[in-house]
Amino acid sequence: MLTVHPQYIKDTAGQSLVILPQNEFDKLIEELEELEDIQLYDEAKKNDTGERIPMNEAFKSIESKR
């Protein structure tokens, strides 16, 4: 579980802002990116048809589109 120690302040317009220590912010971003990767993986698995191509053919296809 991620532990954060937020500080709440208001700017001159009265908008609420949250301040986090840099290391907590970095960890939060890392966790969000990992969650996004998991979601993308889950989506890819859901749409997986089982079709595969050899790696060298994949590289050739990629290179031909550059």
Residue that is written with structure tokens 């001159």 in the block: 12
Is the whole model's pTM more than 0.85, yes or no? no
Q: What is the pLDDT along the chain (66 residues), one digit of tens a residue?
A: 889 999 999 999 999 999 999 999 999 999 999 999 999 999 999 988 888 999 999 999 999 998
Assign 19 to helix, strand or coil. strand
Assign 28 to helix, strand or coil. helix
In one-letter notation, the amino acid at residue 14 is G
